[in-house]
Amino acid sequence: MSRPLARRRALVALASSVGLVAGATAYTSPPAGSAPPAGDCTPAFPLAEVTAGQSVKGLTVDSGVTPEPFTGEVIGVLDDGVAAGIDMIIMKLDSAALQDAGGIWQGMSGSPVYDATDNRLIGAVAYGLSYGPSPIAGITPIEDMDDYLETAARAPQRVDIGAPMAKRIARASDVTAREASQGARPLPMPLGVSGVSARRLASVKTRPYVTKGAYAVGRAAAAAGPADIVAGGNIAGTFAYGDVTAGGVGTATTVCDGRVVAFGHPMMFSGPSTMAMHPAEALFVQPDSLGSPFKVANIAAPTGTFTDDRLTGITGTFDELPETIAVTSKLTMGSRSREGTTQVSVPAAAAEMTFYQLVGNHDRVVDGSAGGTETQSWTIKGTDAAGKAFTISRSDRITSRSELSFEASMELPDVVYALSDLPGVTIDSITADGVVTSNTSTYRITAMQQLRKRTWVTINRRNPATVRAGGTLHLRAVLSGPGGQKLVRSQFTVPKRAKGLRGLVAFSGGSSGFYEGGDGEEYEEEYYFEESEPTLADIIKSVKEELRNDQLRADMIVAGRRVSIERTKVLGPVDQVVRGQRMVPVRVR
């Protein structure tokens, strides 16, 4: 779309370095509400009673759905380690699984840690000491996780350890004091996306709504159910699920009265949240000698909603599923046809998930980085800030010589991105329908002609268009393509007051970026837009007025000291995309 739709504020990153790694996220069955599992409602162990050398035990999952035990020892308490007024407990943890992985893993965030003697809940594994494998974990106290932290403090990217604590960590483990002094970080959490290839995720760099560092994950059946969301069990939060699933897998800390507390740190740090809550099944923990080990898991059908995404963790409920935006794409190429739908639970993620839905479906049907032509139509439905329904629709023809799947998947998400940033505007559904052929032929505007005394004469800078004031200027564009030429006519009535004026006449193809003069010289086309943020009406108007790639625009501009006359006509569509532009001087006699 044109630049007004591209000038948007930066979207909150869906995958920051604050969080835990998403494993293989795959949604494989229809969404359904479920009764909450039996809760543990474990009483809290007071932070004030935590002491160095204290023995602890915990639960987590490295494979399957059943929590397995680990043990550990308290190294100390780091004052204000999580945030102002929120301390962090430093522990050294151990189990056979931890030894196999080399230390705590991404996806272990939320794993509950209990006092080894009286079984009261101390807190949740949430922070790692370094980028590499380490058995040292930062624990978020359960006392603070239960508060949901209404204060919107900034989620820390790194927690300073300090020299005294670094030395204590070094004495208790094989981590050096220098490594420990680098600080504790929330276990990293890039965005895991299923339904889109790794190549696609790595290639998109030009759109502000596409997460940098997102990675592709697999899709497989998950045997997990709502009863598997237990203390120490897998739990997943997603921004979208269905054809494309995007989110992260971690660990539930405690379940009580139909509510779940998990992670020990934020996922997006959104405060109020609408992420979908899912059970998950872990496949394995992948060791990594250069970075942190990470859990690979598949998620099952959603079973609730994460209502809070706070500094010390995320909180979910089994009461009902989140409202979603249905993103549906249908694509046909010859005998191949596919329709898929993604349910987006976080509105801010709608543009990115729309892009993933479209490009993933294209890759399935087109099945290659190939050129071609697509006739595409799409519709966005929603409501404005006053609750009034609106519909935005557009159809177009897209031709690419090398990468149709990519180029045909960008315009609709751009519009969704602009809409997502408007206060009070709600998107209800997004649908796209396309038909693809392997043809890559296009037209190019190669000449402009004027009708003079019943003869079409080529006009250019040396032979400008001329017209009598009060008369009609008859023009046509010469379109050239592999199959031959096509002629497209237009005309302008020139008012008598234009006598003696000079100006320009031009033809431009819908898929163009510059004017070409009749002598081959190129002139940049410039658009000017208001700097203010667009409204819903602005966006609807922009979409409506946007030229199709297979249309032409004819322009006439003549001006003098006190007179300025501008005329524009939209021509077509024709049977192929039109590229190029021609601009010629005009004189009014």
Task: State yes or no: pLDDT of 1 exceeds 50.
Answer: no
Q: What distance in Å separates the CA atoms of residue 309 and residue 150, rounded to the nearest whole number?
A: 10
Q: What distance in Å separates the CA atoms of residue 450 and residue 487, rounded to the nearest whole number?
A: 12
Q: Find the range with the poorest average confidence among 34-43, 112-121, 295-304, 429-438.
A: 34-43
Q: What are phi and psi of 178, to 5 degrees?
A: -65, -45
Provide the pLDDT for residue 187: 54
Q: Find the range with the poorest average confidence among 55-64, 202-211, 237-246, 540-549.
A: 202-211
Within 438-544, strands assigned E span 443-452, 455-459, 465-467, 472-481, 484-493, 502-509, 514-517, 522-524
Span 398-404, average pLDDT:
92
| Residue 458 neighbours by CB distance under 10 Å | 12
Confidence of residue 291 (pLDDT cuts 50, 70, 90): confident
Is there a domain that residue 203 lies in?
no
- Which of 319, 342, 376 is the C-terminal boundary of a domain? 319
Provide the pLDDT for residue 212: 60
Residue 587: which H helix or E strand, with range? strand 581-588
Residue 376: closest CA among 434, 431, 436? 434
369 and 333 part of one domain: yes
Strand partners, 252: 262
Span 270-294, average pLDDT:
88
More confident position, 134 or 5 = 134
Span 573-580, average pLDDT:
96
- Which of 319, 349, 373 is the C-terminal boundary of a domain? 319
279 and 340 part of one domain: no
395 and 251 part of one domain: no
Tokens representing 288?
């990594």
Question: Count of alpha carbons within 13 Å of 449, Cβ hemisphere only?
Answer: 18
Q: Give the pairing of strands 465-467 and 426-437.
A: unpaired
Q: What distance in Å separates the CA atoms of residue 582 and residue 460, rounded to the nearest whole number?
A: 9
C-beta of residue 577 within 8 angstroms of C-beta of residue 550: yes
Task: State yes or no: pLDDT of 179 exceeds 60.
Answer: no
Task: State yes or no: pLDDT of 85 exceeds 70.
Answer: yes
Query: What are 40-73's pLDDT values in tens digits?
Result: 899 999 999 999 999 999 999 999 999 999 999 9
Three-state DSSP class for residue 119: coil
425 and 469 part of one domain: no
* Peptide linkage before 413 cis (omega within 30 of 0): no
Is there a domain that residue 11 lies in?
no
308 and 366 part of one domain: no
Provide the pLDDT for residue 167: 55
Tokens representing 426?
């709600």
As to burial, measured by CB atoms within 10 angstroms (0-12 exposed, 13-18 middle, 19+ buried), residue 423 is: exposed
Question: Count of alpha carbons within 13 Å of 247, Cβ hemisphere only?
Answer: 33
Question: Count of alpha carbons within 13 Å of 267, Cβ hemisphere only?
Answer: 35
Is there a domain that residue 571 lies in?
yes
Task: State yes or no: pLDDT of 151 exceeds 50.
Answer: no
Mean of the per-residue pLDDT values of the chain: 83
249 and 182 part of one domain: yes
256 and 380 part of one domain: no
28 and 168 part of one domain: yes
Task: State yes or no: pLDDT of 515 exceeds 50.
Answer: no
Provide the pLDDT for residue 538: 95
Report the percentage of the chain scoring pLDDT > 90: 65
Q: What distance in Å separates the CA atoms of residue 391 and residue 455, rounded to the nearest whole number?
A: 46
Domain containing residue 257: CATH number: 2.40.10.10
Span 491-509, average pLDDT:
96
Span 452-469, average pLDDT:
96
Q: Find the range with the poorest average confidence among 77-86, 226-235, 454-463, 540-549.
A: 77-86
- Which of 298, 319, 340 is the C-terminal boundary of a domain? 319
Provide the pLDDT for residue 200: 60
Provide the pLDDT for residue 32: 45
Tokens representing 254?
């405690």
Strand partners, 380: 392, 430
Q: Quick one: residue 580, left, alpha or beta (phi over 0 = left, psi -120 to 50 = alpha)? A: left
Span 281-286, average pLDDT:
91
| The one-letter amino acid at 72 | G
Three-state DSSP class for residue 357: helix
Tokens representing 167?
């030395």
241 and 268 part of one domain: yes
Is there a domain that residue 6 lies in?
no
Report the percentage of the chain scoring pLDDT > 70: 77
Task: State yes or no: pLDDT of 523 exceeds 80.
Answer: no
Residue 525: closest CA among 574, 567, 443, 580? 580
Provide the pLDDT for residue 204: 62
Is there a domain that residue 201 lies in?
no
Q: Cα 201–203–209 angle (5° rounding)?
A: 65
Provide the pLDDT for residue 176: 54
**Count of domains in the chain?**
3
The residue range of the domain holding 430 is 325-437
C-beta of residue 246 within 8 angstroms of C-beta of residue 267: no
More confident position, 403 or 198 = 403
Return the top range by mean pLDDT from 400-404, 516-520, 535-539: 535-539
Is there a domain that residue 202 lies in?
no
Provide the pLDDT for residue 203: 62
362 and 309 part of one domain: no
Task: State yes or no: pLDDT of 24 exceeds 70.
Answer: no
Instruction: Show Cβ contacts of residue 519 under 8 Å, excluding neighbours closer than 6 positions.
Output: 460, 461, 462
Task: State yes or no: pLDDT of 182 exceeds 80.
Answer: no
Tokens representing 407?
């180029």
Q: What distance in Å separates the CA atoms of residue 447 and residue 464, rounded to the nearest whole number?
A: 13
Confidence of residue 293 (pLDDT cuts 50, 70, 90): confident
Is there a domain that residue 209 lies in?
no
Provide the pLDDT for residue 137: 94
Task: State yes or no: pLDDT of 184 exceeds 70.
Answer: no
Tokens representing 474?
């008859």
Span 262-282, average pLDDT:
93
The total number of residues shown for the chain amounts to 589
Residue 512: which H helix or E strand, with range? none
Task: State yes or no: pLDDT of 199 exceeds 80.
Answer: no
C-beta of residue 478 within 8 angstroms of C-beta of residue 487: yes
Span 228-241, average pLDDT:
94
| Residue 521 neighbours by CB distance under 10 Å | 11
Three-state DSSP class for residue 417: helix
As to burial, measured by CB atoms within 10 angstroms (0-12 exposed, 13-18 middle, 19+ buried), residue 151 is: exposed
Q: What distance in Å separates the CA atoms of residue 102 and residue 85, rounded to the nearest whole number?
A: 32
Provide the pLDDT for residue 197: 57
Task: State yes or no: pLDDT of 529 exceeds 60.
Answer: no
300 and 357 part of one domain: no
Q: What distance in Å separates the CA atoms of residue 144 and residue 122, rounded to the nearest whole number?
A: 11
Is there a domain that residue 4 lies in?
no
113 and 186 part of one domain: yes
Q: What distance in Å separates the CA atoms of residue 392 and residue 381, rounded to the nearest whole number?
A: 7
C-beta of residue 236 within 8 angstroms of C-beta of residue 61: no
Burial 199-235 (b: 16+ CB within 10 A, else e): ebbeebeebebbbeebbbbebeebebbbebbbbbbbb
Q: Find the range with the poorest average confidence among 141-145, 374-378, 414-418, 511-515.
A: 511-515
